[in-house]
Structure 1
């Protein structure tokens, strides 16, 4: 089986761990060289310590496929407070022209997680 795992920048690994732990991610290991591995179910995210990353201009991003983007939004929205200083926020789901129901999360290092499920998977339309 083949799969890819993003390596995203983190301005502060402790801050990154706390942000994602609130969303149900667990630390799967710190490699000892300013690196963090997080997991939630089958989703894996890797973070490299980059203290100079500007969260308002970071290009870090990945796409996460889930069963139900609407349910995940309902669970995560109360846990993420918008922070204008970092751009951190959660964006409600919308239906796309390419048949997906998508939401977004931006973490405190400016990484964008676009999260989607197929419209025919029971998501609101």
Structure 2
């Protein structure tokens, strides 16, 4: 197995989190009362319970390094995630940033910022 990392993110409700990410193509591979793992191909997100989390003040985040960030953005839109400047959840299309990377943004219902980073060609 190659080295890898998996983000550990908060969930106020595992069932609600699983439903949201299922619409984006993630499937549960582990779930018990204290941990949940969702996968989509090589992507893996791990969640811990945080029932008292205030999504409006959450500072949790992670990056998904994607071969096609535009396609993932399209999946989010097709799943009904709105593209807007406020509210949760929401998505923003990938765009070229000062870093030279194309990055989009997804905020999930728990306020977690998921950066959609385009892998270099």
TM bin (shorter chain): 0.7 to 0.9
Question: Aligned with 1:56: secondary structure?
Answer: helix
Partner of 1:95: 96
- RMSD across aligned positions (CA): 2.0
What's the offset of the Cα at 1:101?
A: 1.1
Counterpart-to-counterpart distance in 2, 1:90 and 1:14: 21
Q: Deviations over 1:76-113 (max 9, x none)?
A: 21313349996211111111122211111111111111
- 85-94 vs 68-77, which deviates more? 85-94
Residues 70 and 40 from structure 1, CA distance in 2 versus in 1: closer, same or farther, beyond 3 angstroms? same
Counterpart-to-counterpart distance in 2, 1:85 and 1:100: 23
Q: How many residues align?
A: 119
Counterpart-to-counterpart distance in 2, 1:101 and 1:62: 15
**Structure 1: gaps spanning 5 or more residues:** none
Residues 100 and 21 from structure 1, CA distance in 2 versus in 1: closer, same or farther, beyond 3 angstroms? same
* TM-score after normalising by structure 2: 0.88
Partner of 2:34: 34
Residues 27 and 6 from structure 1, CA distance in 2 versus in 1: closer, same or farther, beyond 3 angstroms? same
**Structure 2: gaps spanning 5 or more residues:** none
Counterpart-to-counterpart distance in 2, 1:85 and 1:77: 16
Partner of 1:13: 14
Counterpart-to-counterpart distance in 2, 1:12 and 1:18: 10
Q: Deviations over 1:34-84 (max 9, x none)?
A: 211000011110000110001111111101100111122122213133499
